[in-house]
């Protein structure tokens, strides 16, 4: 393949529905660079990574669920509940850090398992299941905090969100958050390339066909919720470290995460989009917020931009899709006679 052809392919990919997020990301970074080149100084960039890390991880978790054709609205409240619970249990005592982290991971997996089983076995739409879970978790936060969080996170706990390897030339500090994001992202990419990942996408694309191919659809979807619960836990560890404990931690993060994933071209309803694009979507959202700060746009106007962008992105992607799909002349999607009549004898 010649270089020019490759370039043309790359161009086509970028304007296609699935490549648009990279284009957007590049554009935002370009504006940031023009505006304030110091953003790309290693130290500042690492600060950005620390700030963006929780959303990136949350978006990865949400990706698993969305690509399997479901929603997880409980992640924001899960992040909050995890942080509040960690503060309560650790209460500033360093040695308790690791056992509590283990407990948090188990709790996150359990929340995901419950979400998944209710959705798949009881056939409750996931938007309702996870909404119910969100109510329960917010209630738990209120119960645990009684308004103001009690206890404190240990310094050991906060390392992950705040600190890093100090004294690295050029960077001064390589944050642990960076490593965690990289590990989680690589694991997610690897997982999506594994048999499980392909099965997950196939379930989101066509659950019936996946079932005919021997997939346990209920289990695959449940696993996606478990992964989402686990990533919310990791995001909680990072947020707690970065921002500390308040009873508002995590509020609204589920919608930002869904925005990020959808911005990445991942289609609600499942079966389309890559985890890398979801990560890029999360990066785009965070860098957009950074850009707003730089432009001294009041932070209050951010939601407006977020809303406009998400609608525009999805409208663009759905227009691209319908343009590339020649509509079939059919009365109903499942017309059993449709094929027989167009058969070549």
Within 10 angstroms of residue 232's Cβ, the number of other Cβ atoms is: 34
* Shortest spacing between CB 99 and another protein, in angstroms: 24
* Shortest spacing between CB 263 and another protein, in angstroms: 10
Cα–Cα distance, 270 to 3 (Å, whole number): 34
10 contributes a contact to another protein by CB under 8 A = no
222 contributes a contact to another protein by CB under 8 A = no
> Which of 23, 88, 140, 152 is in the footprint of another protein by CB under 8 A?
140
Residues within window 74-113 making contact with another protein, judged by CB under 8 A = none
* Shortest spacing between CB 67 and another protein, in angstroms: 11
Span near another protein by CB under 8 A; candidates 2-10, 148-156, 232-240, 322-330 = 322-330
Q: Which two tokens stand for residue 288?
A: 């957009």
Span near another protein by CB under 8 A; candidates 37-45, 57-65, 102-110, 188-196 = 188-196
DSSP state letters, 7-54: HHHHHHHHHSTTTHHHHHHHHHHHHHHHH-GGGGSHHHHHHHHHHHHH
DSSP state letters, 140-196: HHHHHHTTS--S---HHHHHHHH-EEEEETTTEEEEHHHHHHHHHHHHHHHHHHSHH
Q: 122 or 148: whose CB is closer to another protein?
A: 122
> Which of 29, 179, 185, 302 is in the footprint of another protein by CB under 8 A?
302
268 contributes a contact to another protein by CB under 8 A = yes
> Which of 171, 196, 218, 242 is in the footprint of another protein by CB under 8 A?
196
Q: 148 or 329: whose CB is closer to another protein?
A: 329
Kindly report the backbone phi and psi dihedral angles of residue 143, in degrees, each rounded to the nearest multiple of 5, phi listed first. Answer: -60, -45
Q: Give which of 310, 116, 312 is closest to 223, Cα–Cα.
A: 116
318 contributes a contact to another protein by CB under 8 A = yes
In the block, tokens 């079939």 appear at 328
* Shortest spacing between CB 164 and another protein, in angstroms: 33
Q: 69 or 108: whose CB is closer to another protein?
A: 69
Kindly report the backbone phi and psi dihedral angles of residue 284, in degrees, each rounded to the nearest multiple of 5, phi listed first. Answer: -60, -45
Span near another protein by CB under 8 A; candidates 4-12, 101-109, 221-229, 256-264 = 256-264
């Amino acid at each position: 393949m010649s270089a020019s052809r490759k370039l043309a392919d790359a161009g086509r990919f970028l304007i296609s529905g699935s490549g648009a997020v990279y284009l957007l990301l590049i554009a935002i970074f370009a504006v940031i660079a023009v505006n304030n080149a110091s953003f790309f100084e290693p130290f500042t960039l690492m600060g950005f990574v620390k700030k963006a890390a929780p959303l990136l991880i949350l978006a990865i978790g949400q990706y698993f669920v969305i690509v399997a054709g479901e929603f997880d609205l409980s992640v924001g409240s899960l992040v909050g509940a995890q942080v509040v619970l960690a503060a309560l249990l650790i209460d500033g005592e360093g040695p308790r850090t690791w056992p509590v982290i283990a407990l948090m991971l188990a709790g996150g997996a359990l929340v995901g398992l419950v979400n998944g089983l209710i959705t798949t076995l009881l056939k409750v739409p996931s938007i309702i299941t996870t909404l119910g879970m969100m109510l329960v978790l917010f209630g738990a936060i209120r119960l645990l905090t009684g308004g103001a969080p009690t206890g404190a996170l240990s310094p050991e706990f906060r390392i992950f969100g705040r600190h890093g390897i100090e004294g690295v030339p050029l960077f001064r500090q390589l944050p642990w958050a960076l490593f965690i994001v990289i590990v989680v992202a690589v694991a997610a990419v690897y997982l999506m390339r594994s048999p499980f990942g392909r099965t997950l996408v196939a379930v989101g694309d066509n659950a019936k066909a996946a079932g005919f191919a021997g997939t346990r659809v209920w289990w695959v979807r449940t696993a996606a919720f478990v992964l989402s619960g686990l990533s919310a836990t990791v995001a909680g560890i990072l947020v707690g470290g970065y921002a500390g404990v308040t009873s508002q931690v995590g509020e609204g993060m589920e919608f930002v995460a869904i925005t990020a994933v959808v911005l990445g071209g991942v289609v609600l309803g499942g079966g389309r989009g890559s985890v890398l694009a979801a990560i890029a979507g999360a990066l785009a959202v965070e860098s957009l917020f950074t850009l707003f700060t730089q432009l001294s746009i009041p932070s209050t106007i951010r939601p407006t931009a977020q809303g406009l962008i998400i609608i525009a992105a999805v409208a663009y992607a759905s227009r691209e899709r319908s343009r590339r799909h020649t509509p079939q002349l059919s009365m109903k999607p499942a017309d059993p006679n449709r094929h027989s009549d167009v058969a070549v004898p």
